[in-house]
Amino acid sequence: MNKIKHRPLVAAVVLALSALSGCAVGPDFKQPDAPAVQGYTKEPLVTKTAAADTQAGEAQQFVEGKDIPAQWWTLFESAPLNAVIEQAIKNSPTLEAAKAALRAAQEQVAVQNGAFYPSVNASLTPSRQRVTTAVAAGTPPLFNLQTAQVSVAYTFDAFGANRRQVEGLEAQAAQQRMELEAAYLTLTSNVAAAAVQEAALRAQISATRKIITSQEKLLVILQRQYKLGDVAQADVLAQEAALAQTKATLPPLQKSLAQQRDLLTALAGRFPSDELDEKFELSQLHLPQQLPVSLPSNLVRQRPDIRAAEEQLHAASAAVGVATANMLPQLTLSANIGSAAATLGSLFTSGTGLWSVAGGLTQPLFAGGELLHKKRAAVALLEQADAQYRSTVIQAFQNVADSLRALQYDADALQTQAVAERAAAKSLTIAQRSVELGATTPQTLLQAQQTYQQTVINLAQAQAARYADTVALFQALGGGWWNQSVDRPDHVATAAP
């Protein structure tokens, strides 16, 4: 009769636990909306940049919505660049560290998932005991006891504490996955930028050497004219000073080139003594003429740093749920079954069995405000993660806007520098002939030399800027990681739109 009377109560308890097992306290994470903006710049983006009749002078067209290839660096059509980036991806310790961090984060998710299941332990406890005869009359005071048990313990996830912990760890694993993609993007971008810088330095060194050769020839002419009495010694000395000044600009360029070679070698995962065989010239690089411009609504799904910040926000949201659940009752259930006997051979025989079942309900009542302040701290960290996410988004849009403006003005600057270089070259040629004929003063020649030297250097720098800022645009748009081959071991399964 008592059993029948208690059945409704037991059923009510089971239903209550079932209902609780389906909920999780704390905020449910919602993916942030994309910024409600239509473009990256205040004024409409030009569809095509200016063109110039020189190396890297092709007009570039901005194509909205065009997809980015995963191996975007191949658009520069440089076999040496492809080879160095391949070495960098293969040998980079930074990538290896990021891969290991991702594996560790994934294992942490698996560890926490284990809390959804009961823990089962088996034990065997042999012991030798002595008791007083006053306690156990008729029992030998010295005896052996063999105890074998299987214990089962389970904590009900009534308020979703464990589910929130798993949710947070999954978000952290997703964050590490995005950190890995960010490491790939940073590495490949750094190699491409370093290759462009090396090519620019080689162009400047080559131009400087040509200028030195030209000045040496002019010095010989002036020395001959000085012997004939056509020019003053001061003119010869001025040309010697100009030649020395030009030669003085060569060692700093050579130093920068050597350091750039060391940087590229290190990025490829090699020591400086094992320098790369690949070398880079501006003439060997192709300037991509069609440039993708992702829609602003898609950028937040394409940038690895934004995705990482989003997962950090997700983890912080789950942490609030964990802190909230820790303030609520905890329900546990444990059971033991086993056998105890004087000898091992007597275990599990009739009369040696033992068992116990226990349940526990724990409600925190007072902890000096510890649990409350932990929850408040979790809420504050959630607000911090939200602010950091918004800051990352703004920074990303700024990167794209900066790159687009740079590419537009790079083309204008190169066009102007190409005109200036041709004009300076003509002026220098005229000045050289005039001095040879004695029709003008050497001071005019010196000015023409200085002007030409500066325009040649400026032209090389303007050419390199177009390549470098094209690399920067690909990096700012996310680098096309979502188009990676699924055969890659650490391929990101979650694709961007």
- The pLDDT assigned to 12 comes to 44
Enumerate the β-bridge partners of residue 338.
149, 354
Q: Quick one: pLDDT at residue 488?
A: 55
CA dist., res. 163 & res. 23, Å (int): 9
What are the residue ranges in the chain where pLDDT is below 70?
1-22, 132-139, 439, 485-497
The pTM (predicted TM-score) of the whole model is 0.86
Count Cβ atoms below 10 Å from residue 72 Cβ, excluding itself.
25
Distance from CA of residue 389 to its chain's centroid?
Answer: 15
Please give the pLDDT value at position 495: 45
Closest CA to 446 of 220, 191, 239: 239
pLDDT at 136: 53
Looking at residue 448, its pLDDT comes to: 86
Q: What does the pLDDT read at residue 92?
A: 95
Q: Where are the domains of the chain?
A: 41-116+160-327+391-483
Could you write out the DSSP letters of every residue in 322-351?
Answer: HHHHTTS-EEEEEEEEEEEESSGGGTTSTT
Q: What is the pLDDT of residue 137?
A: 58
Separation of first and last alpha carbons in the chain: 65
The answer to whether domain 41-116+160-327+391-483 has CATH 1.20.1600.10 is: yes
User: How many Å separate Cα 163 from the centre of its chain?
Assistant: 28
